[in-house]
Amino acid sequence: MNGQTTTIDQTEHWKARDQQAVWHPFTPLAESNQIIPVASAKGCYLHTADGRKILDGISSWWVNLHGHSNEYIAKAIYEQALNLEHVIFAGFTHEPAIRLAERLLEILPDNQSRIFYSDNGSTAVEVGLKMALQYWHNQGIPKKKVIAIEGAYHGDTFGAMAVGDRGPFTAPFHPYLFEVDFVPFPTASNTHSLIHAFTQLVQSGEVAAFIYEPLVQGAAGMRMYEPDLLEELLKTAKSNQVLCIADEVMTGFGRTGKLFASEYCRTQPDIMCLSKGLTGGTMALGVTSCSEAILDAYRTDDRMKTFFHGHSFTANPLACAAAHASLDLLLTEECTQNRERIAERHRVFAQKITGHSSVAEVRSRGIILAVEIRTQTATSYFNEIRNNLYAYFLSRNLLLRPLGNIIYLFPPYIITDAELDWVYREIEELLDKMLGE
Ligand SMILES: Cc1ncc(COP(=O)(O)O)c(C=O)c1O
């Protein structure tokens, strides 16, 4: 009883201090009193300061691969910290960064040839965009346009925002975002018109790059499209000398059923952006890889053609050590089987609830499952139903963070069958309850 009182007191104390001192992402200030203090996390669970155990069904914003507080990764970070915690990465290098670059190049598509480090997904995208634009600049070729896909989300820095969907999140900044040509989201029914519009754009000769989230648009609501449609776009872009930038920040490291979603296509991207799962969700690290052809534009004696970009924490050794440990785990047979097991169970569950009257659509690819709730209002992040769903699942000790009326599941690969069954039951129960309303 006493212990309970202490933890509840502690929770309130943390919340009060948090409200005074901290500004949280994507959170209206008026709602900062709803923040949940987490004391620790282990495996699939978050342990709150007031003693709750919440299943992390979204891998804490899509970063966690192997469960929280993984001992193997923690040990790797600890050992690295005793040896070399950080060093400036301009003019210096270190084994964890070199080895990680080598290992990534072994598993990335064949044409990827060099690794540029930064420290999160948005910076990986910024680097990719700048790398592509300067590729043309260095050669004196006046290509300035960028194509992106409607609904895209590539991060919150200015370049990343510019190539993302224009909406309420970006509205205050619209005057400052560079112009981008957005093509419609690929579907089976718009293939013809999309390819036509895309071809016209790339044939203008003015397009420097095409940036896309391969096969799954995450923030747009886990919207999925087929590899053959992407293949068509990539082929068309390449044959018109347009650089292709695959933003695999969310899809990378096994989320879609292959290590990288780009593997579903024959045509390989020129540039790839990675982060999130890279360190198993433990440390902030971003990677932008590129092909030999990109490097060629920077191989010159003209120092003004250097890629002048860098961050203080570029290639942080602790983050690289974490990435090594995460890769060790990711590439085991056990982890591969886990991903296949989750994907198969998602497929079975998706089939089961397809046709449910509360469901507009169910889709799954790899370990990602998305259930679109039937609603009168349009599908959007600000859909009223979103806050209710979020609160409902939290009250059941399940962290799902619906995107508008889309509930999605994006679990760590260690989630068990029993835990999956429980989550599916919770979702189904919710769907049934909605019927009664
Ligand atoms: C596809 C994609 N690109 C880039 C980002 C930005 O990554 P970060 O939040 O690490 O800046 C995200 C984040 O959700 C993403 O989903």
Which of 120, 212, 249 best tests ligand 1's pocket when mutated (most atoms within 8 Å of CB)? Answer: 249
Q: How far is the CA of 51 from the centre of ligand 1 (A)?
A: 31
CB of 252 closer than 8 Å to CB of 277: yes
23 belongs to a structural domain: no
Query: Cα(141)–Cα(75) distance, rounded to whole angstroms?
Result: 49
13 belongs to a structural domain: no
Q: How far is the CA of 140 from the centre of ligand 1 (A)?
A: 31
Co-location of 278 and 191 in the same domain = yes
Co-location of 257 and 398 in the same domain = no
Residue 92 has phi, psi (to 5 degrees) of: -135, 160
Co-location of 167 and 296 in the same domain = yes
14 belongs to a structural domain: no
Co-location of 326 and 179 in the same domain = yes
Q: What is the pLDDT of residue 380?
A: 59
Q: What is the pLDDT of residue 381?
A: 60
Q: How far is the CA of 343 from the centre of ligand 1 (A)?
A: 22
Residue 219: which domain range? Answer: 72-330
Q: What is the pLDDT of residue 7?
A: 78
pLDDT along the chain (437 residues), means of 10: 63 93 93 91 97 98 98 98 98 98 98 98 98 98 97 98 96 97 96 97 97 98 98 98 98 98 98 98 98 98 97 98 98 98 98 96 98 78 80 97 96 98 98 86
What is the count of structural domains for the chain?
2
Q: Is the CB of 201 under 6 A from ligand 1?
A: no
Which residue, judged by its Cα, is nearest atom 9 of ligand 1? 121
Q: Is the CB of 218 under 6 A from ligand 1?
A: yes
Q: What is the pLDDT of residue 383?
A: 63
Co-location of 408 and 261 in the same domain = no
Q: Is the CB of 153 under 6 A from ligand 1?
A: yes
**Looking at 301, 330, 359, which one is the last position of a domain?**
330
**Looking at 274, 295, 330, which one is the last position of a domain?**
330
Query: Cα(160)–Cα(127) distance, rounded to whole angstroms?
Result: 10
**Looking at 279, 309, 330, which one is the last position of a domain?**
330
Tell me the pTM: 0.96
Which of 217, 276, 288 best tests ligand 1's pocket when mutated (most atoms within 8 Å of CB)? Answer: 276
Q: Which ligand 1 atom is nearest residue 120's CA? A: 10
Q: What is the pLDDT of residue 5?
A: 55
Co-location of 56 and 82 in the same domain = no
Co-location of 304 and 429 in the same domain = no
Q: Is the CB of 217 under 6 A from ligand 1?
A: no
221 belongs to a structural domain: yes
Q: What is the pLDDT of residue 2?
A: 44
Q: How far is the CA of 300 from the centre of ligand 1 (A)?
A: 32
Q: What is the pLDDT of residue 3?
A: 47
Q: What is the pLDDT of residue 9?
A: 84
3 belongs to a structural domain: no
30 belongs to a structural domain: no
Co-location of 195 and 311 in the same domain = yes
2 belongs to a structural domain: no
